[in-house]
Structure 1
C-alpha cells in the first residue's frame, strides 16, 4: 500500500500540467476587461520593486474603471487595479497586477502558440520595422514613417508619438504592443484603415513610458 502511494506520487510529479494550467498567464497582446465594461489590450509587462505591472493605452484605460478582469467579458477573475493613467500629454496607463494565481511574463501573445520574449525597450528610428503581436489575427508589420507626431483629442493634445505603416484591425480592444523581434518599441494608441486595405498606426514610445512610470522590463 505504501509502495503504491509512493508510485502514485512519483507519477503525479512527472505528469504534464493539467490542461489550461499553462494558460494562467497574462502577456502583452492579451485583453483585460475594465469594471466599466471597457476592454483594453496589454502592451507590455514591466516591473518595479518586485511588483508586476501592465502598460496599455491611457486613453483606453481612462474609461475602463479601477478594477481589471481577465478572461471572457464579464468574468469575475480580478487581475489588477489601475495604478496611474497618463493622458493627455502622453498616452499610457499602468495597471498593477494583484492576482498571485497568474504569472506575468515579459512576452507577447502571437496567436500562433509560441509567445515572443521581450528583452529590451528602445526608441525607434525612421525606416525601422515595427510589428504588432495580435493574439487574434496574427502578426502584422510595417515601417516607422514619422517621429514626434502629435494627435489632438477633446481632452487635449498627445505629443511625441511615432507613426508606422503597420496595419491595425478596427474593432479590436484598444491598445496593444508594437515591437521589433524581442525589442519593445511602442504602445498602440490610435490607428486608421484596416489590414485588408492598409493603414496607419500611432504609438506612445514604450521607452519614455517606462522612464516616466519608473518601471523596467524584466
Structure 2
C-alpha cells in the first residue's frame, strides 16, 4: 500500500488557502509571480495557445459557449488536472474518491472519504467534496458487473459516475427493477446503485457506404484513429476493433493498402493496422490542423473533440471513464462515455482533448442532427496490444529519454499494465556490481520500476522505485545472477523509455 505522506504543491500566500470555486484562478502555480518568471499555469497556457489549432478552439467555443480566451483557460485547467491526477490519487490513497472538471473554466473537484483529507485536496488548489465510497471500491463494483453472466435484456450499459459517487445502470423502460436486482445480486451495494431509464440502443459506428477514410475488404468504411509507428513494421494506425478482423485488408482513398494485424471486439474495441510503406505517419488529426503531442488521460468533465470521416469535427465533454456498453454484438468494457455526437462511418476516428490523444470512436446512440452519446476506446490499450508508439508532433512516440545507458528499450502500457525488460526476457550478470536503470514515462502518468532477481523458479523484487511521477531510477549493488526489470503503469498510459546498465 502507498503511504499518505507526499509532496504537495506550495501555496503562494496564506490568502490562497481560502479556496473556493472562484479562487482557482489563482492556483498554487502563482508562487513564482513575484520574481517575473512565468507561473506553471501561465507557461501551460502559453504552450496551449501555441499548439491547439484554431478550428478546435472554435469548435469548443461553440459547444461550450465560451470565448476563445475562456477556451484556453479551460484547456489550461484540464491540462494541469491531467498532470496532477496521478499525484492526487497517490497522496489520498484509500481516501481518494475521484477527480473531475466542473462546468466553468477553472473548477476541479476531488472526492474524499475522510473529512481529515480535505486539507490535502485544498493544498493542490482543488475543491474537496465528501463521499462514502472510494475510487477503488467503485471500480471493484464496476468489475463485478463486467464479470460472469451477461446483463439481463434491456440493460444497455453501466458505469461509475464519479461526481455522484454512484454506479449507474442504463436500462430500457420497464426493466429498472430487473437491472437493480441484477446489480445487487452481483455484490454491488443497493445504496450505490442508480438506474437511469433510456430509450437509446447503442450500436457500433461502422458503415457500408462509399466515401473517404479507409475501407475494409472493399466495402465497409471506418475512420483512422491515430497514426502510430511500430518498431519493426513501420507506419500504421489504430482504429476500432469492430471495423475489421485480424487479417482483413485495408485500402485508402488513394489506393494505399494495409492489413489488420490486431483486432479485439467485443470485450474491447481496438485494432492496429499495418499501413505499409505507401502510407506516411503523421501526428495530425484528420479534418484539422491539430497535432497530437501525448496520450495523457483527460479526467471526467474535460472538454473533448472528435474527428470522423462522416461528420467531421464535433466537441463536448467526458462524462464517465471505464464504462461498459452493450451492443448487439456483445458488451465492451473500459470505454469512455461522452456527450459528443457521431454517426455511422465515424467509427475508429480520433478523440482528442487539447493536444492529448484520448481514444478511438466505438459506438453510441443518436446522431449529429439531434445530438447523442458516443463511447470511445482509450488509445493506451491499443498501443499496448500492438507494441506500436503514438506518432506525436515531436516524431514517433512521446520521446522520453533516459540518457546514456548500455542498453535502451521502449514500450507501451495501458493503465495498470506491466512489461518486462529486456524485451520480455531477462539478462545474466556473471559478476557482482552495480545495476542501474532509468525509466521515463509519458507526461502526467505514474509509471513505476522494479528490479527483480531469479531465485530458483521465483522472481524476487530486489530494488524498487515507485514515486508518484512518470520518471524513476534504480541503483542496486547485486551479486551474480539472472535479472529483469518490471515496468508498471500505476496510473495513466502511453509509451515509455527504459535505459539500463549491467555490472561491468
- TM-score range normalised by the length of the shorter chain: 0.7 to 0.9
**Does 2:274 correspond to 1:96?**
yes
Structure 2, unmatched stretches of 5+, are 1-211, 391-395, 397-504
Aligned-partner Cα distance in 1 for 2:308–2:326: 26
Alignment of 1:67-216 (within 5 A): 67-71=249-253, 77-98=255-276, 100-110=277-287, 114-135=288-309, 137-168=311-342, 170-216=343-389
Partner of 2:320: helix, strand, or coil?
Answer: strand
Partner of 1:126: helix, strand, or coil?
Answer: coil
More helix, by proportion: 2
Which gives a bigger RCO, structure 1 or 2 (Cα 8 Å, sep 6+)?
Answer: 1
Partner of 2:389: helix, strand, or coil?
Answer: coil
Deviation sequence 1:136-176 (CA, Å, 0-9, x none): 544211011112111224543211111011111x2335321
Partner of 1:190: helix, strand, or coil?
Answer: strand
After the TM superposition, list the runs of 4 or more consecutive aligned residues in structure 1 that deviate by more than 3 angstroms.
134-138, 153-156
Aligned-partner Cα distance in 1 for 2:289–2:359: 18
- The 3 A distance-change label for structure 1 pair 101 and 147 is closer
**Does 2:201 correspond to 1:33?**
no
Normalised to the residue count of structure 2, the TM-score between the two structures is 0.34
Over aligned residues, Cα RMSD in angstroms?
2.1
Aligned-partner Cα distance in 1 for 2:335–2:291: 24
Normalised to the residue count of structure 1, the TM-score between the two structures is 0.74
The number of aligned residues is: 179
Instruction: Give 1:61's aligned residue.
Output: 244
Aligned-partner Cα distance in 2 for 1:160–1:137: 25
Aligned-partner Cα distance in 1 for 2:273–2:245: 11
Moved more, 128-137 or 198-207: 128-137
Structure 1, unmatched stretches of 5+, are 1-29
Aligned-partner Cα distance in 1 for 2:335–2:349: 15
